[in-house]
Amino acid sequence: MNSADLGRRVGVPSTALFTDQYELTMVQAALKAGTAGRRSVFEAFTRRLPEGRRYGVVAGIGRVLDAVENFHFDDEMLAFLRDQNVVDGPTLDYLADYRFSGDIWGYPEGEVYFPGSPILRVEGSFAECVLLETVILSILNHDSAIAAAASRMSSAAGGRGLIEMGARRTHELSAVASARAAYIGGFDTTSDLAAGFRYNIPTVGTSAHAFTLLHDSERDAFRAQVDSLGRDTTLLVDTYDVTAAVRTAVEVAGTGLGAVRIDSGDLLLVAHRVRQQLDELGATGTKIVVTSDLDEYAIASLAAAPVDAYGVGTQLVTGSGQPTCSMVYKLVARAVSADPADPLRPVAKKSLGAKTSIGGRKWAARRLDADGVAEAEVIGTGPVPPELAGLQLLAELVRAGEVVAREPLDAARERHIASRAGLPMSAMQLSRGEPVIPTEYA
């Protein structure tokens, strides 16, 4: 089963080679040393937010669960590893039987996070946990970056519609993941049909400039579209002259025309002119959609414009200048054997630079002020203080290798709206700043 089963069933190939070679060579060396089975705890976290960002958004958890379930080595993969001399025979035997059998806890998808937040905690033997490092980071770093950008755009949009339309600006598989992450972050629809098929995200789309250019006149193009898609369609009005196009659009579709789209020019000025013209023509209910290399700053600049929806592509699927969250996956505790009775010992890398980490199996809670607004991200390794017991953030995702936390994508989307609303109001500012709440270690 995978998270797509909550939408459409889509075959998911093995994720076992979505990894770096040194994950496998570490397993080989640990097997030979007799340490591969040591009970271990890994955590995914980021030491800092992208420059200027005030909060992060957890996205990709559902895809991580899919990846863990589908992480297994088939005969062809094993033959490749053998032929390339990547690992030795005993390691190939281990990989042939690999299935993750440990436990995973993490921040629920859609939750916000801060520097040091233990976004994902993976527990099991060293070998089975370390193999998952690359694919987990690949998913979380990408999806969380897109969701954070989407959240900022959603905040700037102030309740107006948001259309994800970045498929042509990224890898075809990244486009699907981007649409999913954008939906969590607050976007309403996507132009990408694969994302709609896989995740039940509402899809939209009508026509491009090519369709207008195909026809002998703009009127012919509009007539063909309305005859096919109905008067509630969206007509693209900036191929030639916007004023003439709006007049023709209403003449063809009538005052019940669904929407017009503007894709170029001074969007603020043009939107005001188009709104005035539509109203004068009696098309008071016709909506205005704007596109054209928008980001959160451009959306915010159009707050005073009579715009009903924004279509965003390039800036969204590239994280609006921050395409990764710089998350890392570190061993933070381990035992001396596989025996559950053996105590876990905190471990941590020491560094002279900014790459230090804190050892120990962590919990996390978000402390609230008297008004119920978040005031600190509290992280600890010992007992949870009683006053924080009901505010813990990590949820059980996988128990003994079995996924226990499937949820519809709408649940993650709604969680994000609630989580963001629980932050101080300054979190919504687009100006550069520090994390909106501090991280404290108990």
Q: Is the pLDDT of residue 356 over 90?
A: no
Residue 427's φ and ψ, nearest 5 degrees, are -60, -25
Closest CA to 308 of 190, 161, 191, 152: 161
Q: Tell me: the pLDDT tens digits for 217-226?
A: 999 999 999 9
**What is the pLDDT confidence band of residue 355, given thresholds at 50, 70 and 90?**
confident
Residue 370 makes CB contacts below 8 A (sequence gap 6+) with: none
pLDDT value, residue 198:
94
Distances (CA, A) of 32 to 35, 336, 379: 8, 16, 36
Q: Is the pLDDT of residue 11 over 70?
A: no
**What is the pLDDT confidence band of residue 326, given thresholds at 50, 70 and 90?**
very high
Q: Is the pLDDT of residue 60 over 80?
A: yes
Q: Is the pLDDT of residue 208 over 50?
A: yes
Q: Is the pLDDT of residue 36 over 80?
A: yes
pLDDT value, residue 12:
60
pLDDT value, residue 288:
98
∠ CA 353-354-355 to the nearest 5 degrees?
A: 95
Instruction: Please check whether residue 331 is in contact with residue 44, taking contact to mean a CB–CB distance below 8 angstroms.
Output: no
**What is the pLDDT confidence band of residue 3, given thresholds at 50, 70 and 90?**
very low
Q: How many CA atoms lie within 13 A of 147 on its CB side?
A: 32
Q: Return the higher-pLDDT residue of 354 and 419.
A: 419
Task: Report the range of poorest mean pLDDT among 198-202, 346-350, 414-418.
Answer: 346-350
Q: Is the pLDDT of residue 6 over 60?
A: no
Domains identified in the chain and CATH numbers = 3-143+324-441 (3.20.140.10), 206-307 (3.20.20.70)
Q: Tell me: the pLDDT tens digits for 77-109?
A: 999 999 999 999 999 999 999 999 999 999 999
Mean pLDDT of the chain: 95
Q: Is the pLDDT of residue 2 over 70?
A: no
Q: Which residues pair with 106 in a beta bridge?
A: 120, 395
Angstrom distance (rounded) from CA 399 to CA 409? 21
Angstrom distance (rounded) from CA 437 to CA 307? 33
pLDDT value, residue 1:
39
The mean pLDDT value for 143-159 works out to 98
Angstrom distance (rounded) from CA 72 to CA 82? 16
pLDDT value, residue 52:
87
Closest CA to 302 of 262, 337, 245: 262
Q: Is the pLDDT of residue 19 over 60?
A: yes
Tokens of 313: 């592509």
Q: How many residues does the chain have?
A: 442
Q: Is the pLDDT of residue 205 over 60?
A: yes
Angstrom distance (rounded) from CA 442 to CA 438? 13
**What is the pLDDT confidence band of residue 5, given thresholds at 50, 70 and 90?**
very low
Instruction: Please check whether residue 245 is in contact with residue 238, taking contact to mean a CB–CB distance below 8 angstroms.
Output: yes
The mean pLDDT value for 65-70 works out to 96
Angstrom distance (rounded) from CA 88 to CA 100? 21
| Alpha helix segments (H runs only) across 88-164 | 89-96, 126-130, 133-157
Angstrom distance (rounded) from CA 317 to CA 295? 11
Q: How many CA atoms lie within 13 A of 394 on its CB side?
A: 23
| Percent of the residues in the chain that have a pLDDT greater than 70, as a whole number | 97
The mean pLDDT value for 132-156 works out to 98
Closest CA to 409 of 97, 101, 8, 41: 8
Q: How many CA atoms lie within 13 A of 64 on its CB side?
A: 32
Q: Is the pLDDT of residue 352 over 90?
A: no
Q: The pTM is what?
A: 0.94
Angstrom distance (rounded) from CA 187 to CA 170? 18
Angstrom distance (rounded) from CA 78 to CA 36? 19
Distances (CA, A) of 276 to 196, 288, 362: 35, 11, 58
pLDDT value, residue 228:
98
pLDDT value, residue 92:
98
